[in-house]
Structure 1
Amino acid sequence: MQTTLADFLRDTPDGEEAKSIVGKCVHCGFCTATCPTYQLLGDELDGPRGRIYLMKQVLEGNPVTESTRLHLDRCLTCRNCESTCPSGVTYGRLVDIGRQVVDERLAEQGLHRPARQRIARWVLREGLTRPRLFGAAMRMGQLVRPLLPEVLRNKVPVAAPAGAWPQREHARKMLLLAGCVQPSMSPDINAATARVFDRLGVQMVVAPEAGCCGAIRYHNGDHPGGLDNMRRNIDAWWPHVEAGAEAIVMNASGCGVMVKEYGHLLRHDPKYAERAARISALTRDVSELLPAFAEPLQRLAEAAPPPAQRVAWHPPCTLQHGQQIRGKVEALLTALGVEVKLCADSHLCCGSAGTYSVLQPDLAYRLRDDKLAKLQATQPDTIVSANIGCITHLQSGTQTPVLHWIELVDRMLG
């Protein structure tokens, strides 16, 4: 699809990248078959092909309307369309650029978001990305959880202990991103990750200066703020990288896909480009690392055999579509003696999608309920996933325990 960039985008990195991405789209429509919002709403403009058409119009300098912004806002950025696309359209990058341009063009016309939307987005950007502030708010919410309205109660999980963090020193070391919301919402995920690797002779190291991966700000229209988050993390991790850290471990797939893109997003930054590329190259999801330890894991699991259980595996979009990682978790759990079931339409989004479930609750809860119905059809004892957002979102709609799969492995190892 040929695109003639408007003057305000011509010869800019974002403009040229967006033009290149749009140019790959052949309008075949394969993406609409796997787009959750298109399936729910049946509107061409609420599918990837229609949204690409809208963004093409914006890139070429045509008038921008509130309707354009609404259709882009409704996109989950699940990137299912990328897995389906035969032409290699990197839609996730395009919609990040498109949303930013649309907001800027509408602001130039004096068409700002309603105050309620602006406040909600500001609270999400500033609140979720500050672990101490968010942690204090979460503890307060957990104290009064029964009194909260349902929409808030769904976002406040019942308080749970983290468990012990291993204290042994190992020659092999890997960095672990603590994350911004995970330590408060589900503190055992990081501790369980550290315990599993400790049993395998690898020490998890957390750089205290590292914070939010940048996804919350970047995907909510604050590109400069998101890039600053990335630079801060690179600065925090770099001494450990130079000291020989083998990998940067991600147990939240949403963070993992973001950090793996640091090299691309900072490629034009003369101070950070080289280090950002190195950080991205070192970043691994937990599921990419543990298969190398399959034999010792099996021996440890056999020494402490768990009760028979059936597990439903929900692969987050950021794992299967963003990072293109499929089959690793199922294979590892199966090798450890767990009966693992994938539900029907396991490729579709659960509706969490970062801050989407807060900003677009009606669509998010419709997707959640559909996903849970299909997960429950496998008759699981436990549902496992790989991202804190999915875990919290799914747990809000079911009494079946929803865990991170690394927590399950930790329990199996005794």
Structure 2
Amino acid sequence: MQTTLADFLRNTPEGEEAKSIVGKCVHCGFCTATCPTYQLLGDELDGPRGRIYLMKQVLEGNPVTESTRLHLDRCLTCRNCESTCPSGVTYGHLVDIGRKIVDDRLEAQGIKRPAKERIVRWVLREGLTRPALFGPALRLGQIVRPWLPQMLRNKVPASEPVAGTWPRTEHPRKMLLLDGCVQPAMSPNINAATARVFDKLGVQLVVAREAGCCGAIRFHNGDHPGGLDNMRANIDAWWPHIEAGAEAIVMTASGCGAMVKDYGHLLRNDPTYASRAARVSAMTRDLSELLPDFTDELHRLAGAVPRDSRRVAWHPPCTLQHGQQIRGKVEALLTRLGVDVRLCADSHLCCGSAGTYSVLQPELSYKLRDDKLAKLQATSPESIVTANIGCITHLQSGTETPVMHWVELVDRMLAPVVAAQAA
């Protein structure tokens, strides 16, 4: 599809990239078949093909309306369309650019988002991305939880999350671990369990305390400069460890992994950070890419599968199966360890969490959650396992069935064996 850029975008990096992406779209419509919002709303403009057409109009300088912004806001950025597209359209990059341009153009016309919406978005950008603020805020939320609106109550754990001990053994093999911004407060056991599993495999996980939010929350919500600053801060925090020989950068939240693997692309025009960003992206590995290399050793170390998790439903997050194109690895590893792993119908579809989407688009988000849970429950699981903190929190808000990170299950299977060996 040919695009003639408007003067304000001509010869700009974002304009040229967007033009290139739109040019790959042949409007075949395969993407609409796997788009969750198109399936819910049945509106062409709430599917990838329609949104690409809207963004093409914006790129060419046509008038931008609040309706344009609404259709782009409704996109989950699940990137299911990228897995389906036969032409290789990198829709995720395009919609990030498109949303920013639309916001800027409307702002220039004096058309602002409603005050309540602006406040919510500011709180999400500033609150979620700062662990020093988010942790105390979460604890306060637990105190007042009974009086919170249902939507907020769903995001606040009923009790204080507890993490197990962090191993202190030094190992010659070292890898970096991104602690993240929300996960340490909402589910601190995920990273602790990961560190314990790697410790038993002879690998020490190191957390660079200066590292923080991966940048996804700001970047995907239109604050590109703030998101890029988060990325630069992480690169600076990790670089001494990389130079000291760290083998990889481990991601336990697939949403963070998808973003960090994109650092090289997003910072490619930054003369100071481009080469380091490319190396960071190349070193980044989701947990599911690393632990399968230790399958035989894990099988040797593992004890019996816990009774409450012998049969699990596996929910692959969109950021894992579509964002990072990783499929089948978790299921294969857990099956090898003796777990009965089941995929639900339409496992390729989003659960509706999608970062801040569940707060900004609650009606659509909860419809997707309820549909996902119904299909997960149809597999008769004793627990649900997934690989992203957003999915865990979102799914758990709608079911009594325990929802956990899959590495926590692996950690529980190793713990009895280690205890027995110590005895």
TM over 0.5: yes
The answer for the alignment partner of 1:364 in structure 2 is: 365
One-letter code aligned to 2:413: M
One-letter code aligned to 2:121: R
The answer for the alignment partner of 2:276 in structure 1 is: 275
Shift of 1:75: 0.2
The answer for the alignment partner of 1:85 in structure 2 is: 85
> Structure 1 residues 305, 24: CA separation in 2 closer, same or farther (over 3 Å shift)?
closer
| Whole-angstrom CA distance in 2 between matches of 1:198 and 1:139 | 30
One-letter code aligned to 1:323: Q
| Whole-angstrom CA distance in 1 between matches of 2:32 and 2:11 | 31
Contact residue 313 and residue 342 of structure 2 kept, 8 A: yes
C-alpha distance after superposition, 1:187-221 (max 9, x if no partner)? 10010000000000000100000000000000001
Percent of aligned pairs sharing the same letter:
83
Q: For structure 1, list consecutive stretches of 5 or more residues without a partner in the other structure.
A: none
One-letter code aligned to 2:374: A
The answer for the alignment partner of 1:138 in structure 2 is: 138
| Whole-angstrom CA distance in 2 between matches of 1:390 and 1:55 | 29
| Whole-angstrom CA distance in 1 between matches of 2:349 and 2:398 | 17
The answer for the alignment partner of 1:375 in structure 2 is: 376
Shift of 1:164: 0.4
Shift of 1:309: 1.3
SS at match of 1:166: coil
Contact residue 181 and residue 212 of structure 2 kept, 8 A: yes
One-letter code aligned to 2:203: V
Following superposition of structure 1 onto structure 2, how do residues 304-319 of structure 1 map, counting pairs within 5 Å? 304-307=304-307, 309-319=310-320
One-letter code aligned to 2:29: G
SS at match of 1:378: coil
Following superposition of structure 1 onto structure 2, how do residues 317-328 of structure 1 map, counting pairs within 5 Å? 317-328=318-329
Following superposition of structure 1 onto structure 2, how do residues 88-237 of structure 1 map, counting pairs within 5 Å? 88-158=88-158, 159-237=160-238
| Whole-angstrom CA distance in 1 between matches of 2:306 and 2:225 | 48
C-alpha distance after superposition, 1:235-288 (max 9, x if no partner)? 000000000000000000000000000000000000000000000000000000
| Whole-angstrom CA distance in 1 between matches of 2:298 and 2:305 | 12
C-alpha distance after superposition, 1:143-170 (max 9, x if no partner)? 2323322111100013221010001110
Shift of 1:305: 5.0
Equivalent residues, number: 413
Q: For structure 2, list consecutive stretches of 5 or more residues without a partner in the other structure.
A: 416-423
| Whole-angstrom CA distance in 2 between matches of 1:214 and 1:98 | 18
SS at match of 1:413: helix
One-letter code aligned to 2:265: H
Shift of 1:340: 0.2
Moved over 4 A (4+): none
CA RMSD, Structure 1 to Structure 2 (Å): 0.8
SS at match of 1:67: helix
The answer for the alignment partner of 2:419 in structure 1 is: none
The answer for the alignment partner of 1:23 in structure 2 is: 23
SS at match of 1:349: coil
